[in-house]
Each structure stands twice: as C-alpha cells, then as structure tokens.
Amino acid sequence: MSSARETTRDRSEELFARAVELMPGGVNSPVRAFRAVGGMPQFIRSANGATITDVDGRTYIDYVGSWGPMILGHADPEIVAALQEAATRGTSFGAPNELEVELAEEIVDAVPSIEMVRMVNSGTEATMSAIRLARGVTGRNKLVKFEGCYHGHGDSLLVKAGSGVATLGLPDSPGVPASLAENTLTAPFNDLDSLEQVFKQHADIAAVIIEPIVGNMGCVPPQEGYLKAVRELTSRHGTLLIFDEVMTGFRVARGGAQQLYGVMPDITTLGKIIGGGLPVGAYGGSRDLMDHIAPVGPIYQAGTLSGNPLSMTAGLTTLKRLRDLSIYETLERATSKLCNGLSAAAEDAGIETVINRVGSMWTGFFNREPVTNWTTANKSDRKLFGRFFHAMLDHGVYLAPSQFEAGFVSLAHSDEIIDRTISAAGKAFDSIKG
C-alpha cells in the first residue's frame, strides 16, 4: 500500500478543478466535497476488498464502503462475475424479469414486517413512496420525523435533517414549500416524552418515520425499550410507523433492526445492501397495506428502471450470501476489535472520544458525553475531527469526511487490516493532541 506521503495529488487536483466548473461544488453528492473537513476530495479510480485506490495511485483502508452497501467488500468476485454474465443478457428491460421476483422473495423471507415489496431506485425514492402510502391509507397529512435523522432529500424530509445537511451546517432547505414544512413535525430521538407531546398537540399524524438505529448524525442506537414505546404510541393513535432501514437493513442483522430489537413497523424502507453496490431502493409492508399501491390500488408510484436486472443481480447475489449468519458473527468480532482499539488509542493520546456501535455500524465522536440524539451529537468537536480525518488519510485510512456519518466494516476487513487501522489511529491521535 503506497503511503499518502509518498505520492502527489496532481491527478485529483486536475479532476477537481474540472469538476467544479461542471457540477455544483465539483461533486454529485454534497458530503463528498470535503467542506466539513477542509481540503480537496480524492477521486477514486478503483476499489477491492477493504481498500480503495485514488487516481494518484494511493491506496487506503476504506471504512465508508460506498456509505454502507459493501458488506462483502469491494469488487467481490462472485458479484462481479454475476454482473458480467447478467450484462450479456441486457442492462435494462423496462419490463418484469425473474430476478426481481427472486430478490423480492429474499427480502420477504428475511424482513419480519414485509409481506409484499415494491422495488425502486434509491433510498430517497423509497422513503418518499412510503410516506405517500401512509398518507394515502390514513387520509392524514402530518408526518413526524426526528431531529438529525436523514431520510433522503424529499421535500417533506429536509426539516431538521441529518447527514450532509448537518455536516454542512445548512438551514432547512430553500425550495421546500412552507405548506409541506408545516406538515412535518419533529421530536428529539430517544425522547419519548417529547414524542408524546407531539401527539397531544396534533391529531392528524399519518406516519412517524424513524431510523431505528440512526446513521445520519453518526451511529446513535435506540435506548432500551424506546422503539417498543414508539410502536405502542403510534398504534394507539392509528398512526403508521415507518422504519427507515436503508442503512440498517441486512447490515445489523439479516432481518434488520426490526429483527434485532423485536419491533414490527408498518412500512419498511430498504436500500444500499439490497443492491449489492448498485443503485436500488425498496419499500414494503403487509399485504393489505401494499395492496393500496397501483396498479392494484389508487396510490400511484412508478419507475422506469425499477427492478433493473443488474441491480437485482448484485442484490440477489449479496442477500443469498447473507443467509450464512456466521457472517454477522464475523462482522461483530471485527468491528468490536476495531472500536475497542480506536478507543484505547484515543485514551493513550489523552483525547476524549465516544464510540457508538451496533453490529458493523460505528462512529467515533470527538465528544465528552454519551451521544444519544442530535443535541448531544452536535456538541462534538468538528475541527478536531477534521484534523483526525486528514491525519488518518496521511496514514492510509479513509473515513467518511464528516463527524456525522456512520462508518462500516465489511467481511473483507481482516484482523490484519484492523490491526493496521488501529496502529494508524494511534499515530493520528498523537499527531493531533494538544
């Protein structure tokens, strides 16, 4: 692995100079622009296993994993071979195909609350469609979301959003009509009393949408009993509960967070892993609920590339592999070793950190108190994180360029790679202390 100190960044700099003239901020998704950490983004040429390589030839241990999908590692040979074979049969049909049926069967078999599923093309599309379904079925307009949670860039969902919105310190987005914003109510995550107050003040709530394990203000787990209490509260008020499992689905368990915590939502949204690294999304629920979707029911939703054979191939190959539950045990051990090592390295350097983890999702916060919601996450030292981020780059480790994003461990992160990461972190912490 070539060190970041041994090569120039000429090619990345050249590409970025071209990109900023052609794309807003030089990127196609805001967090990639490095605005929160400073400096200039790497342009990636290739990825393999647990590593990515930039256009200047530097290779990094990668904990972004394309923001979650690469649970088996980059360029997994079985997925690559399956895609190559599928591409020879055509890349898009705009018609039903066998692969989408098989992927739907895998999802229904794995996710406890889903009896029927509709494929879409992104997590954003999945959450937008789930909310439309909830509003259409209940005849109500209001939506409750949680501060710091990000569910894609749909208009109703950019109120007090996490992810890139929090990373860049942006206000609620211009371009969202006031009438839509007025129908979006917010409450702090892990605060049941606040949610109960929202229900006391509003009788027409169609849905509550929640990341059961937050990944978009960093990894923030639910406190014990919280999800069950939210489930009971929504049921009592005739409000549908939407679990946004775009990040957690097939990541924290084969059946997602709802299997892990034993809580059944009405609607589940999925993405990332179910596409095996290709663009995909899905939403699903009970048969009675999903029968409201066109062409069976009156609630319209469509997509030209939904069920695309390449995305279905990569997703199906991945989900079949994840039938082997020992994979989750391997990921648990590797991520536990990583987080324990990072915590010890920070302590040795005299730097205060809080590391949150569920399964192979994790975040190290530069914080002095437990991180349980957006208020506590927002107390993290962004500048210190930025210095740590660049120090880790210098030592060959690629983290998400934001304090408020989760990191991910893949099956390709071996003990040797974890040990190298912990060693790099020790050097990075030493370089930023004081």
Q: Which of the two residues, 38 and 274, has the higher pLDDT score?
A: 274
The whole-angstrom separation of Cα 63 and Cα 39 is 19
- Please write the tens of the pLDDT for every residue from 104-149: 999 999 999 999 999 999 999 999 999 999 999 999 999 999 998 8
Query: From residue 130, how far is each of 75, 126, 295 by CA, in Å?
Result: 31, 6, 16
Cα angle 241-245-249, degrees, rounded to a multiple of 5: 135
Neighbours of 111 (CB within 10 A): 28
**In the predicted model, what is the mean pLDDT of residues 167-181?**
60
pLDDT of res. 434: 67
Whether 420 shows a pLDDT value over 60: the answer reads yes
The pLDDT of residue 3 is: 46
What count of Cα atoms within 13 Å lies in the side-chain half-sphere of residue 414? 4
Nearest Cα to 111, choosing from 220, 219, 267, 221? Answer: 267
Does residue 175 carry a pLDDT above 90? Answer: no
Domain 10-63+325-432 falls in which CATH fold? Aspartate Aminotransferase, domain 1 (3.90.1150)
Measured CA to CA, the distance from residue 75 to residue 72 in angstroms comes to 9
The amino acid present at 264, given as its one-letter code, is M
Q: Is a pLDDT exceeding 60 seen at residue 4? A: no
pLDDT level of residue 240 (50, 70, 90 thresholds): very high
**Are both 10-63+325-432 and 78-321 of the same fold?**
no
Q: Which two tokens stand for residue 62?
A: 């990668």
- Per-residue confidence band for 171, with pLDDT thresholds at 50, 70 and 90: very low
**What class, spelled out in words, does domain 78-321 have in CATH?**
alpha beta
Residues 299 and 96 sit within 8 Å (Cβ to Cβ): no
Tell me the pLDDT of the chain averaged across its residues. 93
Of 206, 162, 211, 212, the closest CA to residue 184 belongs to 206
CA 260 to chain centre: 17
Domain extents in the chain: 10-63+325-432, 78-321
- Yes or no: say if 183 and 142 are a contact pair by the CB < 8 Å rule: yes
Phi-psi domain of 95 (left: phi exceeds 0; alpha: psi -120 through 50; beta: other): beta
**Choice between 87 and 32, residue whose per-residue pLDDT is larger:** 87
Residues 114, 13: Cα–Cα separation, whole Å: 46
User: Which residues form the catalytic set?
Assistant: 150, 244, 272
- pLDDT score, position 165: 45
pTM of the model: 0.93
Cis peptide before 295 (omega within 30 of 0): yes
